[in-house]
Structure 1
Amino acid sequence: MNILKQLFVSLYSPKDIAAFRKQGIGKTILYVFFLTLLSVLPSFYYFSTSITTGLGAIQNTIESEVPSFTIEHGELNMERNTPITLNNRDMTIIFDSTDTLDQADVSRSENTIYFLKNEFAYNITGQTQSFPYSMLGDTTVTRDDLLSLIHSLDSILPLVIPISLTVIYLMSAAMKFIEITVLALFGLALRNLTGKTIHYSQLFRLAAYSVTLPTIFFIIMDSLRTIVPNGFIIHWFVAIMMLMLAIKEIPSNKNNG
């Protein structure tokens, strides 16, 4: 059975998932990488488009609306004593030299770039990163320096974006393998409850295919940019139920593996 058909039947057929316990581990690992790739496609799209359009928006906004500022000795200093919020299309830019905002505000935002008192931070399509100004050492950055930097970044985006997407993919793949490993550990308890003879390696294979349904569901939700309440709980509940149903499909004898 090819990987696309495995994906399709794993959406609804615990019996087919149970049969996959006998396949080679290499094919299972390949499936996990493929499923991870599908899961990050919405993030890839929104991240790329946000970065591409965002840089131009930032440059235009800073040129026309941001007063002079300096980043020196690890701190942002501005002429105004209140935060400045600039909205440009789908991107929001906030300058705050008053130390009013913090990382909690960053994590709650969406498609927002922050120049905080002591660090630069952004939250784009759910990807949050921050960089302290102290990384600049003794370098002083002004408004004109920032505009020059943005212009330089725009020219290297064809290199920066693929590297960033590769990092996102590898981190997502690592998290997916951890998720499957933990789910397989749940499978040990389910195995004992059902009285089935299943090795952990087989449970790992079953877990890899049991996460298909919740993963595809959240891919669709991410594509529609729809937030699912209690998404974490829903994801794990569906995955555990699929694993339990797959285990129940395995014959109750010592020769089932």
Structure 2
Amino acid sequence: MNIFKQFIKSLYSPKDIAQYRFQGIGKTILYVFFLTFLSIIPSLIYFSTALINGMDAIQNSVKTELPSFIIENGELQADLDAPKIINKEDFTILFDPTGTVGHKEVSNSNNTIALLKNEALIIAGGQTQSFSYSMVQDFTLTNDDLETLLASVESSLPIITPLIAVVIYIVAASMKFIEISFLALIGLLIQKLMEVNMQYRHTWRVAAYSVTLPTVFFTIMDSLRTLVPNGAIINWFVALIILLLVIKEIPRLEKK
């Protein structure tokens, strides 16, 4: 059975998922990569669209609306007593040399570029990319430098966007593997309580398919740009319920 048929079956059939415990690990890993790619498609679309559409607005704002500033010795310096917020049509620029706004406050925003006291953030399509000024030794940046940099970035977007997409995919895949590995550990406990003959490699395989339904649900919500309250809890709850139903489909050990 190919991964596309497995994908459909994994949405509704714990019995079929139970049969996948015997398949090769390579096919299961391939399925995880496929599921990860599917899950980040909405984020990649929104991120690339926001990045491209917002570049012109950002360049104009830097020229006309931002005060004179300099980034030196790992800090943003400007003659401002409070953060400055510039709202555009689909984008927001946050300029804060005061240190009032932190990383956590900005990470909850949508389509935002933030120049904070110690770092710069780009939030688009639900993804956050950060750059600490202190990462580069002797890093200095002024208004004119930023204008030149933005012009260079705009011309390089056809190269930069795919590279960022690859980074997002690698991070998302890593998180998915961690999620599945932890779920498989819980599966070991469940199978012992239910007296089912499974080893970790079996629970890992079925756990990989058990996350299909919650992953698809949150992918749809992301495509609709709808925030699900307590999303992480719902994700784990649904995956655990499916894993439990899968393990129930596996024959129990015969008692001697």
Q: What TM-score do you get using the length of structure 1 for normalisation?
A: 0.94
Matches within 5 A, 1:198-237: 198-237=198-237
SS in 1 for 2:67: coil
Which residue pairs with 2:248 in the alignment?
A: 248
Shift of 1:139: 4.5
Q: Within 1, Cα distance between the matches of 2:99 and 2:90? A: 25
Contact map agreement 2:80 2:98 (CA 8 A) in 1: no
Which residue pairs with 1:138 in the alignment?
A: 138
Q: Which amino acid aligns with 1:169?
A: Y
Matches within 5 A, 1:14-163: 14-163=14-163
Shift of 1:132: 2.5
Which residue pairs with 2:178 in the alignment?
A: 178
Q: Within 1, Cα distance between the matches of 2:180 and 2:29? A: 11
Q: Within 1, Cα distance between the matches of 2:71 and 2:39? A: 38
| Stretches of structure 1 lacking an aligned partner (at least 5 in a row) | none
Q: Within 2, Cα distance between the matches of 1:4 and 1:148? A: 46
Contact map agreement 2:39 2:215 (CA 8 A) in 1: yes
Contact map agreement 1:210 1:242 (CA 8 A) in 2: yes
Q: Which amino acid aligns with 1:56?
A: D
Shift of 1:142: 1.6
Contact map agreement 1:69 1:142 (CA 8 A) in 2: yes
Shift of 1:175: 1.0
Instruction: Figure out how many residues of one structure are paired with residues of the other and give that number.
Output: 254
| Stretches of structure 2 lacking an aligned partner (at least 5 in a row) | none
1:181–1:138 CA distance, 2 compared to 1 (3 A) = closer
1:207–1:79 CA distance, 2 compared to 1 (3 A) = same
Contact map agreement 2:102 2:116 (CA 8 A) in 1: yes
- 1:46-73: CA deviation from partner (whole Å, max 9, x where unpaired): 1111111122210011122222222223
Q: Within 2, Cα distance between the matches of 1:253 and 1:9? A: 26
Shift of 1:178: 1.0
Shift of 1:108: 2.4
1:196–1:137 CA distance, 2 compared to 1 (3 A) = closer
Please give the root-mean-square deviation of Cα atoms over the aligned residues, in Å: 1.5
- 1:145-164: CA deviation from partner (whole Å, max 9, x where unpaired): 11111000111111111111
Task: Give percent identity, aligned residues only.
Answer: 57
Contact map agreement 1:106 1:128 (CA 8 A) in 2: no
Runs of 4+ in 1 over 6 A off after TM superposition: none
Q: Which amino acid aligns with 1:48?
A: S
Q: Within 1, Cα distance between the matches of 2:116 and 2:153? A: 20
Shift of 1:174: 1.1
Bigger drift between 67-76 and 216-225 goes to: 67-76
Q: What TM-score do you get using the length of structure 2 for normalisation?
A: 0.94
Shift of 1:136: 4.6
Contact map agreement 1:14 1:249 (CA 8 A) in 2: yes
- 1:108-135: CA deviation from partner (whole Å, max 9, x where unpaired): 2221111112222232223223323234
Bigger drift between 36-45 and 78-87 goes to: 78-87
